[in-house]
Amino acid sequence: MSSAHFKDTSFPWRHILFSPTTQAIYAANFSFGYCALYLPIHKNGLYTMTPFISQIIFKNVLSWVSDWLKKEKQLDPTKMGKGFQIFSALGVSASLIGLVHLPSCDRTWMALPLLMLYGTAFSASIPGSFTSLVTIAPPYTGTISSIAMAYLTIAGIGVSQLITLIDFMNWPHKWTIALYTGAVLNIFSLELA
């Protein structure tokens, strides 16, 4: 698209900020940014790397599946993106809730499959909301992705501050609060999808 396009039209800030489609993307990014496992790598290297290894594998696998489904015209791209995003949000929510209830000091290994589920479900966001982010308004992709990243950053800062506040106030069950909040945010992001 030529630069003349941008000179001839006014910038659609209202639509970029408040349309239901962009709000769904922003909510998804906010829920992705809300991540605080705080597993120190020197103590829990296997637990820390598990979701990332899962992401390396499944971001590629799920993106390939998405591209194949589009190529074969098996699903409408909008429905497919929503489907991947639903899997992502529900899978991340389930893994966070599972991390609250299943592992214990005696059964730390129970966290590994949940962390794998977390990484796999998070990976579905690539053919889900992240693909939507770059395709809904191509001339404004930079602006929309910058706003989405701001939501992600605000969530990351927010969860760090929440954990700090809970620690400072000496509230019990800080991880239950933090992980359930993350699960609820992911489920809430589905309301906008």
pLDDT digits (tens, 9 = 90+) for 121-179: 999 999 999 888 889 889 999 999 999 999 999 998 988 898 899 989 999 898 899 89
32, two tokens? 């992705």
Task: Determine the pLDDT at residue 18.
Answer: 92
Domains of the chain, residue spans: 46-192
pLDDT at position 73 over 90:
no
Cα(49)–Cα(33) distance, integer angstroms: 18
Q: Does domain 46-192 have CATH number 1.20.1250?
A: yes
Question: Could you tell me the sign of the dihedral formed by the alpha carbons of 128, 133, 134, 138, in that order?
Answer: positive
Q: Which amino acid belongs to residue 39?
A: L
What is the per-residue pLDDT across 38-59, written as a single tens digit (0 to 9) for each?
A: 555 555 678 888 999 999 999 9
pLDDT at 61: 96
* Secondary structure (3-state) at 170: coil
pTM, 2 dp: 0.82
